Structure 1
Amino acid sequence: MSRADRARVGAYGAAVCAAAYGSMKLAQALGANALADKDPLPPHLREQLLARDPLFVASHWLLAGAALVGVIVALATVRPWGARVPRRLLLTIVWTLGAFMIVRSIGVLGFGFVGDTLLLTGVRPTPVEHAALAHTLARWDLLLWSPFFLLWGLCWATAGWRLHRRGSPAGSGGGKAVKRGPRRLADTAK
């Protein structure tokens, strides 16, 4: 697979991950459980989430909308219409999302591969009254959420790398014009 093909897969992968995440958040906003009980949240916030607190419902609507924007941004890195979006803005958004998701998946400060491993091995203590719940959520995060965010972040990074290297989305001519010198007779004979 060529470098351009891998980058295209990254952009479409970011769009698919955004659509999957947005679909889950939309389902939660509409009242479905859709893994809400597996969200790695502190116990008091988890209770509010499962009780469908209006703030959490509103946040799900916002996250579903943000995911839709994410699909559009990811596609803008590979589709010709993406050349209309200022390249620096697109690069900033794509790299920021990629970095955020990769850092979240590593989880040095909380949930993520490092935080979950520290919790499950007993290096990071848990409140005694919530130990079983914390261990369950850490396992879910270690097996589902952290790999998902790592994949999503790597897809964003790959799309950003392609955009950075190509100069414009989909090589659509939206970048800098390339000056060409006069063609030599030997070049035209090929």
Structure 2
Amino acid sequence: MSRTDRARAGAYGAAACAVAYGSMKLAQALGANALADKDPLPPHLREQLLTRDPLFVASHWVLAGAAVVGVLVALATVRPWGARVPRRLLLAITWTLGIFMITRSIGVVGFGFVGDALVLTGVRPPPVEHAALARTLARWDLLLWSPFFLLWGVCWATAGWRLYRRGPHTSAQERQDALGHHRG
């Protein structure tokens, strides 16, 4: 696979992950469980999520909408119509999302591979009254959420790298022509 194909795959991968995430959040907003019980939240927030607290329902609608925007941003990095979007804006969004999601997956912000491993090995034991739940959620995060956010973050970073490599001197028309040439 050529470098250009990998970069395009990153953009389409970011869009696909946004669709998957947005679909789950939309399902939750409409009342489905859709892995809500596997969300690594502190117990009091988890309870609010599972009892469909209005704030959580509203947040799911917002996140579903943000996922739609994410799909459009990811596609803007590879589709001809995206040449009309300011390159610096796309760079800022793709790199910010890529770094945030990779950081989340690693566990610098609490959850992620590092945080989950610390809970599961007992190095950072959870409160005794929630120990079993914390270990269950850490396993789910370690096997599902952290890899998903790592993949999504790498896709965003790859899409951002493609934009960066195109260079700021490339005109919108040149980018549109180049993107149209690779439609295949």
- TM-score, normalised by the number of residues in structure 1: 0.89
8 Å Cα contact 1:80-1:172 kept in structure 2: no
Is 1:33 paired with 2:38? no
Q: Secondary structure at the match of 2:117?
A: helix
Q: Secondary structure at the match of 1:32?
A: coil
8 Å Cα contact 2:103-2:109 kept in structure 1: no
Q: 1:131-153: per-residue Cα shift (whole Å, max 9, x none)?
A: 00000000000000000000000
Alignment of 1:1-190 (within 5 A): 1-167=1-167, 173-174=174-175
- TM-score, normalised by the number of residues in structure 2: 0.92
Q: Aligned partner of 1:79: which letter? A: R
Distance of 1:156 and 1:65 partners within structure 2: 18
Distance of 2:7 and 2:167 partners within structure 1: 13
Q: Percent identity?
A: 85
Q: Secondary structure at the match of 2:103?
A: helix
Q: Secondary structure at the match of 1:125?
A: coil
Structure holding more helix per residue: 2
Distance of 2:59 and 2:174 partners within structure 1: 38
- Which of structure 1's runs of 4+ aligned residues deviate more than 6 A? none
1:172 positional shift: 5.4
Unaligned residue ranges in structure 2 (runs of 5+): 177-184
- Alignment coverage as a number of residue pairs: 174
1:174 positional shift: 4.2
1:125 positional shift: 1.5
Instruction: Say which one has the larger Rg.
Output: 1
Q: Aligned partner of 2:145: which letter? A: W
Q: 1:98-151: per-residue Cα shift (whole Å, max 9, x none)?
A: 000000000123110000000000000210000000000000000000000000
Moved more, 76-85 or 104-113: 104-113
Q: Aligned partner of 1:7: which letter? A: A
Q: Aligned partner of 2:122: which letter? A: G
Distance of 1:163 and 1:103 partners within structure 2: 21
1:166 positional shift: 1.4
Distance of 1:31 and 1:109 partners within structure 2: 29
Q: Secondary structure at the match of 1:139?
A: helix
Q: 1:56-80: per-residue Cα shift (whole Å, max 9, x none)?
A: 0000000000000000000000001
Distance of 1:119 and 1:109 partners within structure 2: 14
